[in-house]
Structure formats: C-alpha cells, structure tokens
Amino acid sequence: MDVVRTGPLVVGSGIAGLYVALRAQEAGLRPIMVTKSRLEESNTRYAQGGIAAALGADDSPALHLRDTLRAGAGLVDRAAARRLTEDAPARIADLVRYGVPFDTVEGQIALGREAAHSRARIVHAGGDATGLQIEETLRRRVGDAGIEARERTVLRRLERGPGGLPRVTLSRDDGSGVEIVEDRPVVLATGGAGSLYRETTNPSVATGEGVAIAWRAGALVRDMEFIQFHPTALALPGSPRHLITEALRGEGALLLNAAGERFMARYHPDGELAPRDVASRAIAAELRRSGDRCVYLDATALPRDLLYTRFPSICRFLAQHGLDPSRDRIPVTPVAHFMIGGVATDLDGRSSLPGLLACGEVASTGVHGANRLASNSLLEGLVFGERVVRALEQPGPGGPARPRRKVVIAAIQGRGEGADPAVIERVRDLLWERVGIVRNGIVLAQAAGELERTALATEPSDGDVLPGTGANAVITALLVTRAALSRVESRGAHYRTDFPTTAPGWRTHLGLLRAGP
C-alpha cells in the first residue's frame, strides 16, 4: 500500500518557493503553493547578475568559499557557506534539467565575473535577464507538474498548532475567504524587505511580512541589522530605481564622480570590484562631499556589441530614457537591495518552531555573514531549498543555535490594524533617512521610538483581528532598527558613525526574540 505523506504549504513564489514546490512534488510530497500577488511577482524576476557556481577549469568550491568568507566580514557560518559552494554545481545542473536556457559559449555555460569574486563564476541567462528566465522556466514547470498554486492568497497568522505542526491562517488579498491550515509543515519563502526603503530595487511585494509573522509566532529572527545596499541603481528623476548590475563593472565599466574622476581606489584596493558595502558607502561619501545627486557608471570604453549582447535588458531600459551606454555615462546611486538577516534556520532550513522551515531571502542561514557576496542569493534559495525538501522527507529535530547576543522585544498589544497606506510610506521614509547606508545611535533610537509608537496603532488589539500589511511593515522595520541600534560596531553592511570600527567582541550573530509565551 502506498504511503501518502502530507505535503508542505509553501508560502512565496520566488526561486526558493518554486524550487521547493517542484522538488517536493518530485519527492511525492504534494505541496500547495500560496503567494500574496501573482505567481510571477517576486525579487527573482528582477535579478540581473546571475548565479555564482564554481564551474570553470580555474575555479573550485574552495575558492568560492574563500570569496564568500572574505565578503562576509567575519560573520559567515563556515558550514553553511561550504554547503552553499560545494552544492552549487549540482543545483545549476537541476536548473539545466528544468530547462533554464543559460547562455553558452561554444557549447559550455558562459561565466562572468562580479565584484569580490576572484574568478569568473557567474552563470547567466538572456544576458542580464537571468532571474526572469529562471522564474518563467520554474513557473512553467510548476504548472506542468499540476502543483496547486493559489495566487492573491495571503499568510495572515502563524501559531503553534496541535500535533507539532504550525497553525496557519490564510485569506484572500482583500481579507475575504479566511482559511485555517493545521495539518501541514510550512515553508516560508516570502522573500525580503527591500521595498520598506524609499529608494530600492525591490518590487512592491517585498515587504518582509514573513519575518514579522514568524517573529509574532515566537520564532528566532537573526541579523536583521544587515541590509545590503546595491551601489548602482539608475538615478534619473521620475524613473524607477532600476538595477544596473555590477556585472558591468566586472566587464570593465568605471565609477566616476561628477567631475569625471575615478574615486573607488581611495576607498578599496579592488576599486570598482570592491564589495557592495564598501562601494555603496564610497558613493554615499562622494555624494555627501560634492552635494551631487548621483555618480556615473562609464561603460563607453566597452565594445558596443558586448554591451548590447551581454546586457540587453539594461540597454533597452536605458534607451527608454534616452541613454546609450556605449555613448553615455549612466547616472547611478546606492539603494536598498537585499535583506541578509531573517528567520533563523539550521542547515536544513528548520526554524526554532517545530514544523516551520524557511529558505531564500526570508531565511537567515548565516551564509552571507554581514555582507552578501554578489550572486550568492539565487544560489542560496536553490541549495537550502533542496535541503528543506530533504528535511521534509525525513522529519526530525533541529533548528538554529541560540546566538550569544540577543534582544528580547515585548509583544505589542495595539489598538487595531492601521490600514492607512500612509503608514507604509512613513516606514519607507524613516528607514531610508535613519536606518540607511550610514547610521548612528541617536537617529536609530529616534527611529525605534517612532516605530514602537506606530506599532501601538497598527498591531491587532486582540486575537480575533488579523494583522495586515501595515502592521507587518512596522514590525519588520522595528526589528531592523532595534538590531541596528543594538550592534554597537561597524561590520559589513552595517555602518555606524558613532562606532566606526569593527569590534572583536561583536563577531557573533544577533538574535531577536518576542517576549512572552
């Protein structure tokens, strides 16, 4: 007799959620996917650079590991990073098996180079449309596999349920059709929180709700102070902050200030290929010094054919704004890009709550440390997504270690759900202005105080009221801010002018817990 196993509820439809659903279906686990918007709307779709994997003859997982450790500013979990780098080639092979059309040269997968990588190891598809190609391929395979996928379905609440599995409340995005799910493990793949910043590359759905919901349920959240800012987004008045991939700098494009001077050598010996945190702060410093609104990415020395073949999406977008990168310098500025912290997990994606797993940007595996190495993010969703499926096949104990340093935040008993869109807009301004690329304790404390007061108006007043997007935005922003206020040093993506050096005593993860039962 066949044994029918109850499959997971997979929340989110980026690379992590799609991959977990496909692999779970192949394992006979019968997953259900839910996503709060359309199936195709996620950060994955907008990822340009590619996926890092040691595939070249001059490369190895050990070199990839070395680069990952170096970029992470002393906080990378070595075991997680080793798993990431050693499993990378196999996960690329999975994508090839699913039909992702990676770019090739003479029959071999083409490899590019990005900042802080010592080798060319970035695989891409459609030039600079890697995320789009992956998302469309995996989404098509989900449909072909007959996996149940519910769009515009929102995770509203997560609780400890009977029988050792979470109790989940879902609804339609308009609040109707409330449904309780109690008999399935839950995989959070809800993505990051970049759109909680006013200036960001992220789509509007990236509001960090998975983190807020997990924290309310009592899950350990970790390393939320580390928000990575991408150094180069298009800086034109009235234009979206379209990502200008650092693969352009990998091909030889230069960063210039308004006076036409290269400046990155003053900040890092690797110049334009410095890690993202260094490049973002360097540009911010140039802008503070000069009072200009942007610096410039100069790719005019690169062959026109290379630009339009390797970066077709960027070239098309720039053309819509009257720019030709083979002729014109591209105005760029740093913006919020990636949430390094999130729901703490072990190497198999298990959180501190039984039956709750997480992978992708919503998870904190420790693999990125304090500063993510370029193009390790899509890879993280694949590598740890695979491990999540294996953990679902063979359930057992696990979960993340409790960090040595932690902040306990009291549960907030509010006065109801503040649905006013102005709440989220204020959060976006507050994070950008006070919890941004450069921070200090005074403004962080001011931001934390305002967010705590706002939470009183947005958190549910009792257990019968379901939190909404506004309440979740405030909680996630508060977790970022309290973590940034608590880490009294500068490390990786977290820089404080009042504590500008890296402190050996802070070479540890910072956990955030909800007080109470």
Instruction: Show pLDDT as tens, one digit a residue, over the chain (517 residues).
Output: 233 346 899 999 999 999 999 999 999 999 999 998 877 766 677 666 789 999 999 999 999 999 999 999 999 999 999 999 999 999 999 999 999 999 999 889 999 888 789 999 999 998 888 888 999 999 999 999 999 999 999 999 999 887 788 999 999 888 788 899 988 999 999 999 999 999 998 988 899 999 999 999 999 999 999 999 999 999 998 888 888 988 899 899 999 999 999 999 999 999 998 888 899 999 999 999 999 999 999 999 999 999 999 899 899 999 999 999 999 999 999 999 999 999 999 999 999 999 999 999 999 999 999 999 989 999 999 999 999 999 999 988 889 998 899 999 988 877 765 556 788 999 999 999 999 999 999 999 999 999 999 998 888 876 666 788 889 999 999 999 999 999 999 999 999 999 999 999 999 999 999 987 5
Q: Give the pLDDT of residue 5.
A: 45
- Does residue 25 share a domain with residue 167? yes
Rg (CA), the chain: 22
* CA 181 and chain centroid, separation: 27
Q: Give the pLDDT of residue 160.
A: 87
Order of all β-strands in the sheet with 221-222: 363-364, 342-344, 221-222, 510-514, 405-409
Q: Give the pLDDT of residue 4.
A: 35
Alpha helices in 394-440 (DSSP H): 421-434
Q: Give the pLDDT of residue 46.
A: 65
DSSP code per residue over 101-151: -B-EETTEE--B--TT-SS--EE-BTTT-HHHHHHHHHHHHHHHTT-EEES
- Does residue 286 share a domain with residue 162? no
Domain total in the chain: 2
Segments forming the whole domain that contains residue 276: 231-334
Q: Which of 139, 222, 276, 514 is catalytic?
A: 276
- Please indicate, yes or no, if residue 478 is contained in any of the structural domains: no
Q: Is residue 247 within 8 Å of 112, Cβ to Cβ?
A: yes
**What pTM value is reported for the model?**
0.93
Is 365 strand, coil or helix? coil
- Please indicate, yes or no, if residue 445 is contained in any of the structural domains: no
- Catalytic annotation present for 276: yes
- Does residue 254 share a domain with residue 129? no
Query: Domain holding 307: CATH number?
Result: 3.90.700.10
- Does residue 161 share a domain with residue 21? yes
- Does residue 348 share a domain with residue 259? no
- Does residue 366 share a domain with residue 385? yes
Question: How many residues in the chain?
Answer: 517
* CA 500 and chain centroid, separation: 25
- Does residue 374 share a domain with residue 287? no
Question: What would the 3-class secondary structure string for 369-396 be?
Answer: CCCCCCCCHHHHHHHHHHHHHHHHHCCC
Query: Using CA atoms in the order 500, 407, 230, 83, what is the torsion angle rounded to 10 degrees?
Result: 110
- Does residue 375 share a domain with residue 257? no
Q: Is residue 142 within 8 Å of 31, Cβ to Cβ?
A: no
